[in-house]
A and B are shown apart, each in its own frame.
Chain A
Amino acid sequence: MSNLDTLKAKIKERLPDLDMVVGWEQGFDPLRATPLFMRTEEDVDRLIWNPLCVHNLATYLPGLKGRKVGVVVKGCDSRSIIELLQEKLINRDDIVVFSMPCEGVVSVRKIQNRIGSLDYVESVEADTGTVKVTVDGSSQSFGFPDVAASKCGRCQYHTALLSDEFVGEPNNEKAEDDYSDVTSFEARPQEERLAFWMTEMQRCIQCYACRNACPLCVCRDHCVAQSRDPHWMTQENSTQNKWFFQVIHAMHLAGRCTECGECERACPVGIPLLLLKRKLNKEIEELFDYKAGTLIDSTPPLQAFKVEEDNINERGW
């Protein structure tokens, strides 16, 4: 039996005690997977697990609080669950976590950049060696690392950090993450950095897909960006205002963001939002030696108080 078949069997076994199990199925074209809400055994038969399963399904959990829900996760997705548990946004007893070792997922955007347009994809064969995409009868093959999500290249958690049903051999490889993307951006002059973000943010359509796709952005319906009373933010669509929202999002996620990349993936106009989130996480790591969603028993640093922080010289002036 393949790992996927074993996983399906496990889900079918647990399904009678659950309202639903969230996984993935093939979407509207050969490149796009889509979240699958399994309620019956026939639903489970449609489950897929492959490098196209890009979505972080933990995003759905806070909205389903109070129901018994199973969720299929990749290693990185499991960090969101840990963070949600730490913040008591979901109940441990209500969720069943299914997982398998993850070798990485593709970046649909990187594939788009290579093939030009995603409009005509006819077939896709994706494994963690190569990704072969056929468009208009002609095929192109890419080495997996070239079209993998950037987070997969620096993954330290191929194996879920929390799971109830794990199928397959755990993979304990750990890549280095030196935040070199952030440091090289930081090295640029301030005016240039600001100009970069203003150029990027100009095309933001204020759809808030970035916010709603984020598993930890849990205010959603009561977000400062849209609340009318109090009327925190102007409804003007100036670039500065769009940027203002992103800074708020990033600040609210500091020390909670697990760098799942959903914000950036969800953005319909391709704004590189993860760079901003990683900048704050780099600060958090330096200040508090903390990586969100990795230790189930710890408290996120901005939700705790310590009289003397180890890395902050508060009274040493």
Chain B
Amino acid sequence: MAVKFLAKDNLVPWLAELAETHRTIVPKREGEAVVFRPFAKEEAPELSARPTESPKSAIFPQCDTLMSFRYTKDEEDPGKVLLDLREMKDESPAVVVGCRSCDAAGFNTFDRVYMTDKITDQNYRARRENTLFVTIICEKPATTCFCNWVGGSPTDTSGADVRMTPLEDGWVLESITEKGEPLLSSTLLKDGDDRAGDAEKIRQQAKERMPEAPDLSEAPGKVLALFENNDFWEAESAKCISCGACTYLCPTCYCFNITDESSGMEGVRLRTWDNCMSHQFTMEASGHNPRPTKAHRLKNRVGHKFSYYPNIHDGNISCVGCGRCIKSCPVSVDIRSIVLHAIAAPAETEK
């Protein structure tokens, strides 16, 4: 493991070096939001405020062209149409610098679904295997943070290739994975062994600042037990306006839609983010919708993250506790209290 020190003034030059070989994606201020954008020398990244959106699109773009197609008439045989298909896959090396531990850990949720022994999503894999994460620890939890409820921590390394710990005059960078090591070979980085102790102190403090976490071990069972309890979900979802803010900002929501869009003889197949809070999400071709109300839909969002997913993925909750869905919800729906209400709900008696 390499430990290096990056002085404040060297941040932008170091990123510029990385950008020579990698698509380098950093958090940036844009208007009143902090979003992930390609690094540009002229604009310093925003490393102190928590990003409004998650870095999800670095690997799973909001709109991804999976392939393009074109039909041509066979000159020889007018009855025949030829199809030219072109698969698109992005295998360019990339690095995301400055996302939080929880954000990087979010991709572990994706991996269990998109890269299994049975099925691998090739477009996902191409970006996933070629993207590195340099995470930055959180010195102080926000009122909406709860990573420690769901197995994470402000200094967690489960999604990181390199971890940054901020000090007064710069950052201590440690490689976490082998793949992360080459990122630390720049001559702009100094040996960091003498600062490692300071960094460890900051990380210790960060962990101590997290409020105590409730025990969620009963959540998968309790949430599932409420599956038929419409009153519970109606009450919890009453204020929800069924938009996509929570899911689109979430680092673990991985649902998508596929659309073929063509004009004349050519077109593209698009994969775009979809979200379970939308009425159209389960709309069937027949016109029947098994999740017709927002109560059904919120039940799915919470149920999927805290019950259905952990039930089939070794108990791993598919929420990393980043708090975005709480702080950016226009009506302040709080997923933490829904889960706690579910745990506290009296067990249903057989009817």
A residues touching B (Cβ–Cβ < 8 Å)? 20, 27-29, 32-37, 55, 59-60, 109, 112-113, 116-121, 199-200, 202-203, 205-209, 211-213, 220-221, 226-228, 231, 234-237, 262, 265-266, 268-271
Q: How far is the CB of B276 from chain A (nearest CB, A)?
A: 13
Give the nearest-CB partner of B244 in chain A: A207
Please judge, given known A-B contacts A205-B248, A221-B279, whether A113 and B243 are in contact too, CB under 8 Å.
no
The residues of A that contact B62 with a CB separation of less than 8 Å are 205-206, 237
Give the nearest-CB partner of A59 in chain B: B241
Q: Mark B11-33, 1 if CB is under 8 A from A, else 0.
A: 00000000000000000001111
Please judge, given known A-B contacts A112-B32, A235-B272, A237-B62, whether A209 and B245 are in contact too, CB under 8 Å.
yes
The residues of B that contact A266 with a CB separation of less than 8 Å are 241, 243, 245, 330
Interface of B is mostly: loop
Contact between A269 and B241, CB atoms less than 8 A apart: no
Please judge, given known A-B contacts A27-B334, A118-B327, A269-B31, whether A208 and B244 are in contact too, CB under 8 Å.
yes
Bound-state CA distance A209–B241 (Å) is 8
Give the nearest-CB partner of A27 in chain B: B332
Contact between A28 and B50, CB atoms less than 8 A apart: no
Q: Does B35 contact A (CB under 8 A)?
A: yes
Q: Does B249 contact A (CB under 8 A)?
A: yes
Q: Does B239 contact A (CB under 8 A)?
A: yes
The residues of B that contact A20 with a CB separation of less than 8 Å are 238
The residues of A that contact B244 with a CB separation of less than 8 Å are 205-209
Q: Does B286 contact A (CB under 8 A)?
A: no
Q: How far is the CB of A8 from chain B (nearest CB, A)?
A: 19
Q: How far is the CB of B162 from chain A (nearest CB, A)?
A: 24
Q: Does B44 contact A (CB under 8 A)?
A: no
Contact between A268 and B332, CB atoms less than 8 A apart: no
Give the interface residue-count category, chain B.
35 or more
Bound-state CA distance A199–B248 (Å) is 20
Bound-state CA distance A171–B280 (Å) is 44
Q: How far is the CB of A231 from chain B (nearest CB, A)?
A: 8
Contact between A120 and B32, CB atoms less than 8 A apart: no
The residues of A that contact B328 with a CB separation of less than 8 Å are 268
The residues of A that contact B140 with a CB separation of less than 8 Å are 120
Known interface pairs A35-B238, A213-B331; 11 further A-B residue pairs with C-beta atoms within 8 A, sorted by A's residue number:
A28-B143, A28-B337, A203-B35, A205-B249, A212-B242, A221-B279, A235-B261, A265-B330, A268-B249, A270-B33, A271-B31
Interface residues of B in 231-246 (CB under 8 A from A): 235, 238-239, 241-245
Bound-state CA distance A166–B331 (Å) is 25
The residues of A that contact B241 with a CB separation of less than 8 Å are 59, 209, 212-213, 266
Q: Does B160 contact A (CB under 8 A)?
A: no
Give the nearest-CB partner of B235 in chain A: A37
For the complex of A and B, 7 pairs with smallest distance between CB atoms: A270-B32, A119-B142, A266-B330, A207-B244, A221-B279, A209-B243, A268-B328
A-B contact pairs, 8 of them (CB 8 A): A37-B239, A117-B49, A119-B145, A205-B244, A206-B62, A209-B243, A235-B270, A269-B52
